[in-house]
Amino acid sequence: MKPVFQTVKRQRYMDIAGELGCDWLMVWDSDDIVFPDPKYQNWKKFFRNMDRYAERFPAYKVFKMKSWIPSNLEWQRAYNIVGENLWNPYVRLHKDPGNQRYALDCHWWWCPKDATDEDLILQKRGMLIADHTIEGVRFTTNSALRGEAQLFSRDRWAWNNDCEEKRRLYFKQCDYQYHYDHDEYDGYWRYDDLGRPISKICNEDGSK
């Protein structure tokens, strides 16, 4: 199997949810778990709130859930700046997921599926906004679920991914705002500790 960018793989579960006719999609990371307190495991209340928010705010398509962020010892950050020992809301729920897509090659931006990158950059269309948090069920995260070997490889991957997302956004802005002609967008790159691209990992289609 050829490698592909993170948002391409993530988009696949959005598409599958659409193919299956799912009204909602919940997306968690591999180190996310339901918070171990019955107080935050009220699924009946959670599903009821989903229906209420969908009815009250029909224009909204993405919603947040609250996550307990443990200490730095329990959960190793992947270059994301967030406090410790606190509740933090994250987008985890997608209403009508089959009509959404990851926007501008970013793994935490979403837009209507029929909106192009040019539409977004030129502000002809907008991103999907998550102003509401649905209660009833909360979650938490624990790095021990991934293991030391996976965390080690994850750190360099996360850095490269963050830098690559920024590089791709920059070139798309150049393309659509300033009509800058370039051939540097193709492929996925490896970055040094200052965020400078140093070598190409593979081409856009996954080939070397």
What are the pLDDT digits (tens) for 72-120?
777 776 667 778 899 999 999 999 999 999 999 999 999 999 999 999 9
Q: Which has the minimum average pLDDT: 2-16, 24-38, 147-161?
A: 147-161
Encoded tokens for 81 = 């700046």
d(CA 169, CA 165): 6
Residues 127, 96 contacting (CB under 8 angstroms): no
- What is the pTM (predicted TM-score) of this model? 0.89
β-pairing verdict for 24-26 and 100-102: unpaired
Q: Which has the minimum average pLDDT: 8-17, 47-56, 86-95, 181-190?
A: 181-190
Residue 118 φ then ψ, to 5° = -60, -40
Q: Which residue, 48, 173, 57, is CA-closest to 123?
A: 173
Integer Rg of the chain from CA: 19
Q: What angle do CA 49, 66, 25 make, to 5 degrees?
A: 60
Residue in the structure block whose two tokens are 């970055």: 191
Residue in the structure block whose two tokens are 């909106």: 115
Task: Write a three-state SS string for 27-64.
Answer: CCCCCEEECCCHHHECHHHHHHHHHHHHHHCCCCCEEE
What are the pLDDT digits (tens) for 172-204?
998 898 887 666 667 888 899 999 999 988 877
Residue in the structure block whose two tokens are 């993530």: 10
- Amino acid at residue number 54: A
SS3 108: coil
